[in-house]
Amino acid sequence: MRTTIKDAPETQNIPIIFVSARGAVQDQERGFNLGAVDYITKPYELSILRARVRTHVTLKRKSDLLEALVSLDGLTGIPNRRRFDETLNNEWRRAIREQIPLALIMADVDQFKNYNDFYGHGSGDDCLREVAQCLMEAVQRPGDLAARYGGEEFAAILPDCDKDGACYVAERFRNLVAERGIVHERSAVAQHVTISAGIATHAPTLGDLSEDLLKRADLALYHAKWNGRNQVYSGVIELMPFV
């Protein structure tokens, strides 16, 4: 059971109830050590078994709901930094196992401080919500993740995605924000809110670190802003230990 249920990511969080004729303490201890949430010995009353199943299903639903809330950004409603970090680590390991590329997009709102200072923090919050929705629209594949990285900065994790695919998503994100037409009179870039984005892609092998991909994407974002903002930078960023 351990290898087929508890070690598989798709099923490892499913509550398991043991129903067994073995009632010794050692047997029950072994069942709980294998990951069971409850242990029922035969003979048993069907009504009692059903009641326990209902109880554990209810607890699991509440646990899943709490986990989801903890992983969401309170302002924008999209995945937060914690969820981003967890997903990046998981997808990095999967990319190594399956020998596939992983793409990362880092983006932020151009001259957002000027926007906040001029329109107020309430309007700034509304702006960030709009930008977050644009990112969610741009990141469409089920396995991709769009997240608020912090402040006015956003990020996307694109598993099994090459540079061209990542550029398409980032440009779609940039265009969707521009099409919103959120007025930004204090921007030196345009009369509406814009975003800049940087892209990094890599097919990792054992020994590579996900932190280096993150650094590359962050430096690419810096290049996009340095080059004039309101653009996507996808040039190669040299950073050891990748070659």
Active-site amino acid positions: 152
Instruction: At 18, give phi and psi (nearest 5°).
Output: -85, 130
Q: Is 97 exposed, middle or buried (0-12, 13-18, 19+ CB in 10 A)?
A: exposed
- Tally of CA atoms within 13 A in the half-sphere of 210 that contains its CB: 18
Integer Cα distance of 137 and 133 in angstroms: 6
CA dihedral in degrees (227, 229, 230, 236; nearest 10)?
A: 50
17 SS3 class: strand
Q: How far is CA 180 from the centre of its chain?
A: 24
- Tally of CA atoms within 13 A in the half-sphere of 110 that contains its CB: 29
Beta-strand (E) ranges in 133-180? 145-150, 153-159
Instruction: At 197, give phi and psi (nearest 5°).
Output: -145, 150
What type of residue is 191? Q
